[in-house]
Amino acid sequence: MALMTYAEAAARALALEMEADANVVVLGEDVGRGGIFGQYAGLQQRFGAERVIDTPISEAAILGAGVGMALAGLRPVVEMRIVDFALCAMDEIVNQAAKNRFMFGGQGCVPMVMRMPIGIWDASAAQHSQSLESWFAHLPGVVVVCPATPQDNYSLLRAALACGDPVVYMEHKTLWGVRGEVDEAEHAAIGSARVVRAGNALALVSWSRQLEVCEQACAQLAAQGIEAELIDLRSLWPWDRDTVLASCARTGRLLVVHEAVQAAGFGAEIAASAAEATGCKVRRLGAPRIPVGYSPPLEAQSRIDADAVAAAARALVG
């Protein structure tokens, strides 16, 4: 296994897919110089400007071109830089990419990966720090993936490129420099969660950057004799109902934690499904319904830290 950053793991996965399939292309702003996070480092030099394509600053044009490329038989990776900027291309995502297979009787498909980094970006304020994964989980016709580790950013990006449907691929803006071991032979299945830590007191479900926060909370809880079963959802649609519901049925309790605003967040879908299927006690923990502030004290109001997760778990266990 090799030690890689989250960004390096993604670049390595993409390089392998581009080597294997000449139809895999990249387009977006700054991709030629490696992307703003280094997630495309060296790819234009290796594969040329015809396959790693720098574009004008127009998210609607970039996404629309990606849809057209996919319908014509290519497998584009479309870079939106951050999810906040993808809002300029919502018509192309919602009314074109997501619906094409259904509206035209399966005559066309859009095998495209749309990279939209999510989450609070330190001192970047309200227009650069959003977690909008629930918007896309609500959208029929797209797959939604949220990798939390370098290994998953490698394995799940390769799985997304093989998917055949449009994938909203949501990396976290502050994970790019995180290092971890990556096994290039390891494959990941979209829709399969990972049990990070076994436990019998409650099921603790999260994804993306909040997984690390939940691991810290689990260590606090274990020191107090409370063993939480920590589950990394990895993909929000499809999501691994079997793994989550089995844990809920066994422990009788569920705590869902996400960085996104709690109101109408994807945690509500998981909590409702678990309550309906198992009758377990449920609790959600997410950000307040406020824009992310610029100053550190205001920004901190939108963060869910390990202490808050541990406190919510203790209250649920009673």
Instruction: Determine the Cα–Cα distance for residues 150 and 156; give it in Å rounded to an integer.
Output: 10
Q: What whole-number distance in Å separates Cα of residue 289 and Cα of residue 181? A: 36
What is the dihedral sign for C-alpha 125, 126, 128, 133? positive
Collapse the DSSP code of 23 into the 3-class scheme (helix H, G, I; strand E, B; otherwise coil) and give the result: coil
Selected catalytic residue, list 128, 172, 187, 258: 128
138 labelled catalytic: no
Q: What is the DSSP letter of 252?
A: S
Q: Largest Cα–Cα distance in the chain? A: 59
Q: Which tokens is 119 given?
A: 């989450």
Q: Are 233 and 193 contacting, i.e. CB atoms less than 8 angstroms apart?
A: yes
The pair of three-digit structure tokens given for residue 163, joined into one six-digit string: 């998917």
Beta-bridged to residue 74, according to DSSP, are none
Distance from C-alpha of 157 to C-alpha of 161, rounded to nearest angstrom:
6
Task: Catalogue the active-site residues.
Answer: 128
